[in-house]
Amino acid sequence: MKKTYACIVTGEEKYIAPSILKKKIEKFGTEAEFEKHFILPTIATLLRKGQTIDEIRSAKGITDMPSIDPHVLTRLNLMRKKKGIRAQEAEERQARDQYLRSAEYKEKMADVAAKRENMSDRQYIEFATGGPNNCQVEYGGTCARPDIFLSWNNKSCDGCNYYEHCLCYTKRLSTDKKKPKRRR
């Protein structure tokens, strides 16, 4: 049995005591298999922290080592794992929060507020019931005063200040016939 083994990532050799070597050979089956899987503990720590083999080799100035089979890293539990859904959601949330605190977002919101302040009543009602550029009209629009429509008017717009310019499909007075239900 050999007593020194070369790391498959860096090529550095390390002495391994016979008692430890015996356990390692039992784990991998043969000495040749252990030799194919031997990685220095310091390098294994770097791989667990997320560094790649290429990053480690370039940091150590190694260029002529052969590539490593990914199955070896998987068997040693050193393969960089994909981020879980929760980690991705946390990153997205962090990026969104960062954008919401940015000067660009604050400037956009100031522009929107200024635009809304300068709207006429008609423009505001059309914006509130039809959405930006009337994008909600295709889906029936949005009632801006459901408190009036649903509560005491038998699903009609009697007494609603927005009735004249409203773009909502359900817009009607109590004297009007109910519109047929829309089919999508």
The tokens describing 174, both together, are 């109590």
Pairing of strands 4-6, 13-15: antiparallel
| Cα 32 from Cα 100, distance rounded (Å) | 56
pTM of structure: 0.43
| Cα 15 from Cα 38, distance rounded (Å) | 12
Q: Which distant-in-sequence residues (6+ apart) come within 8 Å of 161 by Cβ?
A: 145
According to the model, what pLDDT value does residue 103 have? 94
Q: Give 110-155 pLDDT, tens digit per residue.
A: 998 998 889 888 888 888 888 878 788 777 888 888 877 776 667 7
pLDDT confidence tier of residue 105, bands split at 50, 70 and 90 = very high
Q: Give 6-41 pLDDT, tens digit per residue.
A: 999 888 999 988 888 888 888 888 888 888 889 998
- CB–CB of 42/48 below 8 Å? no
Q: Give the sign of the dihedral formed by CA 26, CA 30, CA 31, CA 34.
A: negative
- CB–CB of 3/21 below 8 Å? yes
Structural Rg of the chain based on CA atoms:
34
Q: Which region holds residue 154: left if phi is over 0, alpha if psi is between -120 and 50, else beta?
A: left
The tokens describing 91, both together, are 């990153």
- CB–CB of 35/65 below 8 Å? no
**Please, what is the end-to-end C-alpha distance for the chain in angstroms?**
77
| Cα 168 from Cα 103, distance rounded (Å) | 35
In sequence order, the β-bridge partners of residue 4 are: 15
According to the model, what pLDDT value does residue 1 have? 63
Percent of the chain with pLDDT over 90: 14
